């Protein structure tokens, strides 16, 4: 009878084993299959992170290899805010498990109370913009790191890298930083950078840093060449976010080097001379090639102020300056005044007006109206040479009457007026050529009358031109009739790809082939020589000692900031027999071309020929010049100035200023001036002294 009892026990034991095994198998299935992802996250694992590094921007050098823009190593402390936030929240909820009312702090509080105390221990904490960080996190999440500091020293960088704080999402990195060694020198030519925007960020990167973008000057027009190829650093990290080792590293590559036609020493000379005026522009060109040796505009700015971003205070100083320091006046419109008498003389020669004389009685009648000469009692009978020398208005208005509007506009267009030169600089003005198609579109209700054509001949009315356009035109007069396209980029070369762009002189028009007889061109040149050297010449104050030059002045009445005033011009080439330089200067609120622009041209030419004689021109770091809106009646050159010569004897100076007021004054700011990256200001929440809270373990 005992056997059944034992048998029941065996059954019960077997059932218990089966039930237990079933429960165990169910739990194992739940753990290993249903909840494997949950438990896999709890297992300490290593993972890889790809960090994008921006390419190294190519350098900008002058024609002699002087570095005008380069890159220095910049050490940054960056936050991946998503990593920091997620890591903190994970530990926070573990510590507050089951607490329904528990509320984790926001990202700013996490940084201030958890991250910054550890940074302070390492001596690398800093005040920051908490609002900017919040906005960055909302916009970019963890894809784009937030730059907490971009001014670490190498010792701070090395110390942090060696003593990792095991703070997930906190890193140090090395990036290239743009540097302009000579400050504001050639700032309008070089331009400035803007920090990259989010754009289309590749999904494979958990950390992404883009390339700065050029938005002004050469930095903008040659941006595609100067940008380097990206680098990728792959890092192995443990579950705590600690860097274990670099798994792979693709080094960022250097972008292309851009060589300019500028001569840094001539640029420094030109800018230094031009700072005697409040607002002005100057161009120095090699007439044999069209290469721009110097291009200056005052006031100016320091492109280093924009690296990596500009403070709102500094930008406001630039923006609110009535002298408009961002405006590159060398490629902006000015009323040209009597400098337009040179293209009028060329127009006459091309259209067969050879040996024309004019009896100047002090005015030219247009119906009942009279347009007067600056010399009210008249010059008497003049030929082309004397008309240029004395800047006689009636002579050139007679040319306009004889040639007619259509031929005047056609010839001016052929000379490059009323159209951009095509130089590799952004926002170049085209000038205004009355009677052209663009002029007709701009002023639909106007009709070109004989009087308007006469004003075009003397550079008044609606006429406008840029100093660069005039430099190219005067170069054609100087070199025998070849109108070259102005160039500022000489060569672009890549360290691996070799030469990408090699600019050679580009001939736009051969005036001799267009009908300008060499003898007529020589008459125009001779008229400019007389203007610079003979009693009664309007450009005698532009002449350096011992050098024969050709020159022409101009004085345009205009309105500026609501005040009737003048623009003063002088255009010149030198030396006369074998021209190597063309110098053009235009000055806002200058009393006259001869008394204001002329002495500035003289100083520049004196420096140029001093360099040819073996005197090395200085080259120093330039501080930005804020300019002014003062009226300048005359620029005097002291005898003890190393670049100045004694004044020539006074005679009839011919400081003409037409009574015709220019209707359309020069705009003081380009409408589409790109905005830079404005630095976020430190705010109260980013200024608190970090105090540690209990750190989740």
Enzyme catalytic residues: 338
DSSP annotation string for 183-246: BTTTHHHH--EEPPP--S--TT-SB-----EE-SHHHHHTHHHHPPPPEEEEEEE-TT--EEEE
CA dihedral 539, 544, 548, 554 (to 10 degrees): -20
Our separate counts of H helices and E strands in the chain read 21, 25
CA 113 remoteness from chain centre: 42
Residues 575-601, buried b or exposed e (16+ Cβ, 10 A)?
A: bbeebbbbbbbbbbbbbbbbbbbbbbb
Handedness of CA 317, 318, 322, 325 (dihedral sign): positive
User: Which of 670, 657, 431 minimizes the C-alpha distance to 558?
Assistant: 657
Residue 301: DSSP 8-state: -
Cα gap 334→348, rounded to integer Å = 24
Residue 408: DSSP 8-state: H
Residue 250, helix vs strand vs coil: strand
| Phi-psi map region of 498: left, alpha, beta (phi>0 left; psi -120 to 50 alpha) | left
Are 567 and 335 spatial neighbours (Cβ–Cβ below 8 Å)?
Answer: yes
Question: Cβ–Cβ contacts within 10 Å for residue 391, how many?
Answer: 32
User: Which of 347, 349, 379, 351 minimizes the C-alpha distance to 363?
Assistant: 379
Are 544 and 609 spatial neighbours (Cβ–Cβ below 8 Å)?
Answer: yes
């Amino acid at each position: 009878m005992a056997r059944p009892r034992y048998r029941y026990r065996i059954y019960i034991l077997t059932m218990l084993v089966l039930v237990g095994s079933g429960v165990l198998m169910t739990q194992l299935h739940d753990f290993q299959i249903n909840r494997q992802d949950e438990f896999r996250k709890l297992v300490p694992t290593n993972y890889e992170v790809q960090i994008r590094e921006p390419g190294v921007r190519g350098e900008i050098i002058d024609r002699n290899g002087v570095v005008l823009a380069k890159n220095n190593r910049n050490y940054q402390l960056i936050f991946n805010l998503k990593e920091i936030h997620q890591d903190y929240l994970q530990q926070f909820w573990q510590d507050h498990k089951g607490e329904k009312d528990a509320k984790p702090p926001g990202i700013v509080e996490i940084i201030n109370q958890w991250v910054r105390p550890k940074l302070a221990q390492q001596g690398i904490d800093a005040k920051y913009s908490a609002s900017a960080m919040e906005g960055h996190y909302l916009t970019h999440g963890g894809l784009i790191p937030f730059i907490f500091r971009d001014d670490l020293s190498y010792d701070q960088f090395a110390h942090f890298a060696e003593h990792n704080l095991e703070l997930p999402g906190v890193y140090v990195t090395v990036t290239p930083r743009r540097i302009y060694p000579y400050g504001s020198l050639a700032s309008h030519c070089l331009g400035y950078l803007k920090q990259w925007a989010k754009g289309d960020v590749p999904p494979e990167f958990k950390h992404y840093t883009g390339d700065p973008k050029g938005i002004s000057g050469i930095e903008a027009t040659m941006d595609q060449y100067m940008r380097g190829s990206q680098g990728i650093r792959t890092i192995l990290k443990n579950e705590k976010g600690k860097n274990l080792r670099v798994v792979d590293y693709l080094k960022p590559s250097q972008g292309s080097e851009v060589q300019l036609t500028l001569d840094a020493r001539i640029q420094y000379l030109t800018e230094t001379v031009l700072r005697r005026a409040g607002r002005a522009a100057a161009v120095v060109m090699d007439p044999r090639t069209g290469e721009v040796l110097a291009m200056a505009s005052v006031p100016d700015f320091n492109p280093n102020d924009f690296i990596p971003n500009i403070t709102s205070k500094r930008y406001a100083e630039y923006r609110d300056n009535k002298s408009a320091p961002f405006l590159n006046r060398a490629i902006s419109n000015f009323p040209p005044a009597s400098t337009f008498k040179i293209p009028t003389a060329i127009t006459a020669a091309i259209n067969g007006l050879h040996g024309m004389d004019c009896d100047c009685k002090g005015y030219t009648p247009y119906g009942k109206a009279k347009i007067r000469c600056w010399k009210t009692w008249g010059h008497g009978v003049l030929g082309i040479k004397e008309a240029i020398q004395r800047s006689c208005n009636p002579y050139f208005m007679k040319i306009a009457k004889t040639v007619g509007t259509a031929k005047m506009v056609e010839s001016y267009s052929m000379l490059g007026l009323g159209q951009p030169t095509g130089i590799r600089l952004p926002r170049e003005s085209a000038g205004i050529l009355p009677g052209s198609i663009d002029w007709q579109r701009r002023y639909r209700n106007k009709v070109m009358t004989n009087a308007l054509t006469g004003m075009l001949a003397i550079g008044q009315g609606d006429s406008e031109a840029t100093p660069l356009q005039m430099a190219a035109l005067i170069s054609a007069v100087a070199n025998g009739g070849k109108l070259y396209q102005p160039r500022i980029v000489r060569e672009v070369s890549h360290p691996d790809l070799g030469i990408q762009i090699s600019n050679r002189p580009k001939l736009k028009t051969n005036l001799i082939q267009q009908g300008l007889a060499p003898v007529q061109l020589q008459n125009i040149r001779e008229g400019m020589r007389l203007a610079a050297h003979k009693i009664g010449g309007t450009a005698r104050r532009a002449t350096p000692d011992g050098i024969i030059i050709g020159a022409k002045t101009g004085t345009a009445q205009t309105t500026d900031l609501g005040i009737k005033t003048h623009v003063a011009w002088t255009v010149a080439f030198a030396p006369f027999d074998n021209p190597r330089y063309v110098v053009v200067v235009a000055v806002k609120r200058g009393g006259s071309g001869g008394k204001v622009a002329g002495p500035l041209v003289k100083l520049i030419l004196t420096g140029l020929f001093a360099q040819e004689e073996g005197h090395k021109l200085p080259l120093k770091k330039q501080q930005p010049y804020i300019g002014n809106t003062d009226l300048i009646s005359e620029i005097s050159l002291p005898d003890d100035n190393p670049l100045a010569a004694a004044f020539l004897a006074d005679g009839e100076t011919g400081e003409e200023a037409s009574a015709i007021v220019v209707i359309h004054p020069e705009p003081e700011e380009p409408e589409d001036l790109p905005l830079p990256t404005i630095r976020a200001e430190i705010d109260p929440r980013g200024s608190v002294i970090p105090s540690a809270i209990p750190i989740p373990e």
